[in-house]
Structures are given as C-alpha cells and as structure tokens.
Structure 1
C-alpha cells in the first residue's frame, strides 16, 4: 500500500444536529467537503454513494435532526474553487446589496450569474459571498433565481433565519413581483395562468419545463403595464415557485419573454440582438414579507438594471 492510499479519506457517518436541520443535502455537503468540485458532489449523490439513513436521496433532500449521513471517501483538493470567483462578480456583490441586517441580506442579483455552482458552473453568487466574507460563519440561499434573471435574491446569515424564511415561502407569505417584457402585443390587461408544470429533459440533456396535466400546480398573475409596437411590458406575480414558471407560463400565453433562449421565439430574439440586446428580460423587482425576527413588514424594491431601462426607453409605445 503506497502513501497516497494510506492518506486516502475514510467513509464518514455524520449525525445531523439542530444546527443543520432543514438544510439541503447539497449545501451541507458543499460546506462539509470544502475543495471538492460541486460536479463531483452532485455525482456521488446521484450514484447513491451518499446515503441518508441508509437510503438514497436527492440533492434537494432537506436534512432533519437525527439523520445519519454516509459520506464516501472523497479526496479534497488543496486548491479550492474560490479561485474561480471572478473580480467582476465580487464587485457586483459588494455594490448591489439592497438590505442587510444580522439575520439576512437581499441582493439585487446581476444577470448572467448562477446563484450557486454546479452543472458546469464552477461558482456563483453564494460562493462569491462566502469568498468576500470569509469571517461569516453561515451564508445560505433562501430561494433561487435563474442565471439570466436579475433582481431580489434573499441570502440567510443565520440558520434560524433560514428556517423562518423557508416557512414564509412555503406558506405563501412572501409576495414576489417580477417585471418582464413579452414578445408581441398582449391584448389583455390582466390574466391568471394556472396550467400545471412538469420538469423534463430534452435530448441534448438541457433541463426543460413543460405544460402537463400530470405536472405540479402553478399559478402566475400577469398584469399589463405598457404596450409597445413589438412588445408588452408586464408585471408577473407567481403564487407558486415552480422552476422556470413565469417563462413557461408567458410562452403558454403565446407571448414568451424577450431574450428567452429556451422558451422564446428565435426571430424575436434575433431582432432584439440586432439592436444590441442580449439577455432575458425578466427582473425580480419587489419582495414583500414580514421580517422573521422583528415582525416588521418589509418592502424591498430592486431598480431595473441599466440595460433594461435603456431598452424600454428605445421601444416605441402604442
């Protein structure tokens, strides 16, 4: 047996305490296995090498106090993934904080950054915060936004705050309002879309969400704000939190979001690209909820990014 084999890590069995209760399995492993690529972590869970109470689970499994987590031998690289958090992301995080106290912070997330690493992305928003705040003992995402979506993103700074905020989201006590630019002229002033959604994977391995009666309940309220010659500005309020919900519901209306490469219209996206516009026009503009500690009603507003403002100012209104 050589020295490398002798120093190889052993199987660990970790009992979950209240401190880690309600944490997602992937986030727990990412914190526990510092330096291990996230792609490797997702792979060992998918292959069943990680077990909870001797059973296979998904990375989204939420841990409970008393759970026994089996962690297989995984060699930790001396070089961590922190080096992949670029200066542009660090700068964006520092200047885009909308609200912060001891319990959590709210970021005006810039478009183009994933909220976390994995699935081919070395690092994202949460890894960036952990790098620029090495003194922080706890930083976890409360919810998620798509990579190309900008706007309000909640990050917990305490385990207790994370639990309370999760409960607010689960009990529909967080009002979320998005601004989106839809392709074409939408004739209605307001409508409620309630078609169910189901996650799917196409032949290229890309994750897609489709309208399906066998899917999960989903509800989005669309309200028209401005009518342009070739597009419609709307307010979208999701009452449920399904993956890609607003994007798929907008496409179902026959008016997909401008710049949506996955569910949108190629000719519309090409027309906007020819004018220099290259991103998804979806922005999480407002969050309204009761502070989980003080009980104060918070109304957080994220101003539109400059590129979205400029696009609207150049659109011809009807």
Structure 2
C-alpha cells in the first residue's frame, strides 16, 4: 500500500495525488503500477497521461516502461474512475493458460504464441500477464520479468515473488542472462558478420506509432545495442529461388525492437516483419506459407533467484515456422548447441 504524502483538489471532485513507492511496489513498470492504482480507468487513458507528462516521477517526466524504485515520489493527475459497468471501462481479461516450459515457487516460464501481447495497453485491452492473473486467481503475485514483441513467439518469464522479480531483472540489466532467438532473414547473411554494435534510438511516426532506428553514437537519444549473429542454415522457401538465412541471434542488450532493427539495417530484414521489412516482399512470402514474422525466442539461460543454479530453457519452433524449414535444417537446429 502506498503512502499518500499530499493531495490537491481537481475538477469534478478528482484530485492530484502524490504517492511514495514502497518495497512491495519497487521494480514494477510505471504503466503496470498505474493500472492497479487507477482501476476502472481505461488503459488507453493511462498511457495518454504518461505520454503527456501529467504523470511525474520525482518531478520529472517518465515513460511507460520506466521501473519505479523505493522512495520514488509519483504525481498522479486528476482522473475520473469509471464504474466497471460503464461504457469504455476495461473489461476483465479472459483466463488463459499458456504452454509451460518451467514452473517452481519463484517463477514460471511460458512458450508465448505469436500474435499475443505480453500486456495490455496501446490499443490492446489485455495480454499474457492479465490472462494469467485471471486464470490463476489464487496467485498473490504475477509480474512480467521481461518483454517480447507481440509477433514474437517463445520463452517468456513471469515472476511469482517480488524477490524473484527484482533478482531476475537485475540479471537482465547486468547482461548475466543468455538470450538467443531464431530468425529467418532475407538474403545470404555473410558468415564473417558476427557482431552488430550499433546504437539505437526511439522515434514516433506522424500517427504516433513508436519505431526504432540506428543512430550515430553521439545522437542525443542513442542507446548502445549489441547483437551477436551465427548462421545456422541457408536455403530457399518452397517455390522460391531467393536465398534466405536462418540465424541464431544472441542479444547482449535488451533494446526495443533491437534484433529487428539491427538485422534490417544490415540489409537482411526478418522475413514477415511488417515494421522494418518490405511490404511487397512480405505479401509474396505469405504465398509460401509464412503468415507471421519469423522471430522466435528460442533459448534462455539465467541464474535461479532462489539458489543461484543455472537454468537453461528452450522452446521449440512453433509448427507454423518449423513447417517452412527443410527437414535436415530442422533436425540440425534442434541439435544445435
């Protein structure tokens, strides 16, 4: 429970609130924290007040993905909380169980399907975490450890304890985890091109959609991003002559859209990528059976937050992607270390 350290009257009975973050809430994303504080407020409105700067952390602007810390002082603007039954209120997420790769007292790992957001917001009413919470009403704590893009399938970690969440997030932040993806890209990837070290920066399209691009090191918003690439196979999709490369991609930093932007900027966009790939090429790929982006969170290694032992997880390629690979390629991929 948060400590209200001040309040100012607002319109229609609403008021500005100032909250101090306690240990129980530390480590949460700002948007997730606000969803719980502002129950009944549509998530689209929550994101709007964050983007507009009406929500402040220690008097400064913040982003939805900002992690709140113990002692942070949050300013919440006046908002009208709608009754659940009113039009526009966010309905509860339907319960859904996802394929489990691992579960113990501290955490669970699921095999997230493509097309499902990890959490609600930005036009999405609910995601994996909201559906898991509905499916497990007795769970006292369920929080995302990290994120995957909506169209990316594969391993996703969820913490079942606050201590596990902070310990795992520290590992991600300090690059102590091993995160490897499978990506099918256009063209013949050069074998010698193994390291992509190019800064990235976020920007907005005219319609407000968020994108990421490679920028110079001295760019004001530059964030260092390092991606390691290994070629697993080269082949052409059924009915095509154009070469494709299957890559094992390991990220040493976890920037938004990092793999997608790094590979596309190198001239080898991920097959089916609707943001950084080629629209006409993606339409042609659909005729081969590729209906989604070919990016899969394949392997993940981390130290268990309870006893420190190394955990190694692997999620097999989903059928809609595995069916596109030559049998020999799929066999070699499953054996690859």
User: Do the two structures share a fold, i.e. TM-score over 0.5?
Assistant: yes
- The equivalent residue for 2:169 is 166
Note if 1:248 corresponds to 2:261: yes
Query: 1:8 deviation in Å?
Result: 4.7
- Mapped to 2, the partners of 1:267 and 1:48 lie a distance apart of 38
**Are residues 279 and 86 of structure 1, via their aligned partners in 2, closer, same or farther at CA, if it must alter by over 3 Å?**
farther
Q: Deviations over 1:3-60 (max 9, x none)?
A: xx99955443322211112222211111222222111111122333333344443333
- The equivalent residue for 1:75 is 80
Contact kept, 8 Å, 2:152 with 2:296, in 1: the verdict is: yes
Q: Which deviates further from its counterpart, 206-215 or 276-285? A: 206-215
- Mapped to 1, the partners of 2:325 and 2:138 lie a distance apart of 41
- Mapped to 2, the partners of 1:61 and 1:54 lie a distance apart of 14
Contact kept, 8 Å, 1:190 with 1:224, in 2: the verdict is: no
Contact kept, 8 Å, 2:180 with 2:249, in 1: the verdict is: yes
- The equivalent residue for 1:301 is 314
- The equivalent residue for 2:334 is none
Query: 1:151 deviation in Å?
Result: 0.5
Note if 1:225 corresponds to 2:238: no
* Aligned positions of 1:1-318 closer than 5 A: 8-79=13-84, 81-83=90-92, 85-86=93-94, 90=96, 94-188=97-191, 191-213=194-216, 214=219, 215-229=222-236, 230-313=243-326
Contact kept, 8 Å, 1:228 with 1:315, in 2: the verdict is: no
Count of aligned pairs between the two proteins: 307
Does the residue aligned with 2:225 lie in a helix, a strand or coil?
A: coil
- Mapped to 2, the partners of 1:62 and 1:189 lie a distance apart of 38
Contact kept, 8 Å, 1:82 with 1:127, in 2: the verdict is: no
- Larger helix share, 1 or 2: 1
- Mapped to 2, the partners of 1:119 and 1:60 lie a distance apart of 13
Q: Which runs of 5+ in 2 are unaligned?
A: 1-9, 237-242, 331-337
Contact kept, 8 Å, 1:21 with 1:64, in 2: the verdict is: yes
Q: Which runs of 5+ in 1 are unaligned?
A: none
Does the residue aligned with 2:263 lie in a helix, a strand or coil?
A: helix
Query: 1:75 deviation in Å?
Result: 2.9
- Mapped to 2, the partners of 1:305 and 1:144 lie a distance apart of 19
Contact kept, 8 Å, 1:143 with 1:154, in 2: the verdict is: yes
- Mapped to 2, the partners of 1:55 and 1:95 lie a distance apart of 38
